[in-house]
A and B are shown apart, each in its own frame.
Chain A
């Protein structure tokens, strides 16, 4: 390292690569101490909440999907659940199972994309998965094969992998037959074997030291590793329903970002996403996934964000195992959707997007028109925690030269898979040393 004792410096990255969407970061260092750290999300605002007003209750699943091409199902599921809450509709049984299966497919596709395309190249000092193929082609081919199975399952249930067309309030337009799902089983079994290899691969990486103590927030379900529904809980004592979300969380608009910052009213910064889910729901993992985690030394109390790549791999294995169980128990429902009785009200829906809790709220008029919409994506919720991680990382590694520091800081951000298009909202690093 060629660190010269320059007293002050500013570290900046103008365009962060391998994140979804656009953003930049700026770190100010004054006499060896980290001062201001800003994650600047400059992705232009797209105003979804604004133009949802005046649309019909049936439209958010198609419209909000367009917030993010990487996790459209998450938007569709939170939107459906919030609107169903407003309309007093409960989607249970096989329709709920199909929703979980569709969501599992998105987790496979999104986690495999993040692990191999966005995150893993960093651990080898490479620029991209394509470069990674140069040194470990089988790993990249396996990733592509796994991602493809996730996408095919998305297509089977949702019609299309990006912005599925088959989701509606109350259920689906058309449900797959039992035969169709069973025919998919061998692919899922193959995916399970590949996912176990991914856990081994990423479990053996070298992780930079970084311990964080954010309050961790995730959904929790009585019997499942929660994805589609559950209570919103935290290791700081929170235990609430979707409906109580606004009482406990607040979004603030900060000057350096087009994404809003979300805070727990009583306490401030918190973290959603893989680390939080893993900590709060370790006991709900399938045996296969829990054993795989154990074999690579990953425990529930893990608080090193760099290890989130291992958590993602374990979660991928888990959702494949869950998917297999859903397929085995599937019975075609009589009807593809439940009919809604239109009426006014306010509804809330939180689900676990691959990058963390995604909360939607809609107010409907008596004739089913949306009068107000609130969407709180995972990246808004994690922004403050990411800035905090950056501060800690840069402080702990302050002796590195700017280039090394910049690289490390970028990975620190990528740990959280910030989906900036979600938060409206890419990344650049500026370090100012004074």
Chain B
């Protein structure tokens, strides 16, 4: 995995508005962590190390969304210093749960949470990294899956394309042998439109998928909404379920707003 000069490739992990869960996924690779750390130079990873090595970086993993003017500047600097830039998680890839502010007036949220909103400078929107700078690969999930993360890090360091399949959760359900909760129990499930990665987790626990990996490639959301309605999911619940952790990614963005649906 060494680059031309023979030195170890430099890995950086950056945080924007987020919960730290996606970068923690890297520390949760207990069996692989020391090996990964031996093969790369961890140049910047504030949650794990107070060492700060200057760029340029071979691979930057970016967690979190852009919600302040300062962060919009910071991501441009990170991009300028990074050979490859990969976003990790729904916040960085789709604006995250904090993108719920995009649908309303942020001042309203400010006044609910803070007594003196004027102390804060925040943008009215929470936007994905790709709205600000070119991104080489987007890894989905809230949080991301550790096997997928290791695959992506390995692939980028080896200079190949990551092998992350873009089918829906239903395929993983079949692979795991889950009975379909939608068909068998009439439990509303977003699996048919949700990007794979979790291994069909929720249905294995008798619950419907709530879409934490965000939309798959070209999902048929309208048809799923028909099926959800058929099993008795009220319209406002349909709206809300699309408007959670990936609310700002199309087509969940408009699926979660009936009035905007064609």
Contacts and interface: CB of A to CB of B under 8 A. Distances in A.
Interface of A: 15-22, 43-51, 53, 55-56, 59, 62-63, 66-70, 72, 113, 117, 121, 127-131, 133, 137, 140-141, 144-145, 147-148, 151, 159-163, 165-166, 168, 173-174, 252-255, 258, 260, 336, 410, 421, 426
Interface in B98-125: 98, 100-101, 106, 108-110, 112-116, 119-120, 122
Contact of B119 (A121, A255, A421): A255
B24 interface: yes
A44 B68 contact: yes
B19 interface: yes
Nearest to B51: A127
A51 B47 contact: no
A129 B48 contact: yes
A337 to B, nearest CB: 10
A174 B206 contact: yes
Contact of B142 (A18, A22, A44, A66): A66
B101 A128 contact: no
Nearest to A13: B50
Nearest to A20: B20
Contact of B28 (A49, A131, A161, A255): A161
A21 B63 CA distance: 11
B29 to A, nearest CB: 9
Contacts of A69: 18-24, 143
A140 B34 contact: yes
B34 A144 contact: yes
B235 interface: no
9 contacts: A17-B46, A47-B109, A47-B110, A49-B112, A56-B240, A66-B21, A173-B206, A252-B115, A253-B114
Given A59-B240, A67-B19, A51 B109 contact: yes
Contact of A113 (B27, B96, B100, B110): B27
Interface centre among B23, B49, B71, B106 (most CB of A within 10 A): B49
Nearest to A166: B205
**Most chain A beta-carbon neighbours within 10 Å: one of B15, B50, B115:** B50
Contacts of B106: 47
Nearest to B117: A253
Interface in B25-56: 25, 27-28, 30-31, 33-34, 37, 42, 45-52
Contacts of A254: 119
Contacts of A59: 240, 244
A59 B245 CA distance: 12
A374 B106 CA distance: 18
B28 A66 contact: no
Judged by DSSP, the binding face of A is loop
A141 B34 CA distance: 9
A117 B212 CA distance: 28
Contacts of B8: none
Nearest to A49: B113
Q: Which 10 A-B pairs have the closest CB atoms?
A: A69-B21, A50-B109, A128-B49, A17-B50, A127-B51, A47-B109, A148-B30, A144-B30, A50-B112, A51-B100
B137 interface: no
A116 B39 CA distance: 21
B240 to A, nearest CB: 7
Nearest to B37: A130
B217 interface: no
B19 A68 contact: yes
A50 B143 CA distance: 22
A49 B101 CA distance: 12
Contacts of A144: 30-31, 33-34
Contacts of B221: none
B97 A15 contact: no
Contacts of A15: 46
A17 B33 CA distance: 19
Contacts of B113: 45, 47, 49-50
Contacts of B210: 62
A66 B245 contact: yes
A117 B50 CA distance: 11
Contacts of B237: 56
A163 B48 contact: no
Contacts of A147: 28, 30
A44 B202 contact: no
Nearest to B207: A173
Contacts of A56: 237, 240
A258 B120 contact: yes
Nearest to B181: A173
A173 B191 CA distance: 17
A174 B185 CA distance: 14
A16 B46 CA distance: 8
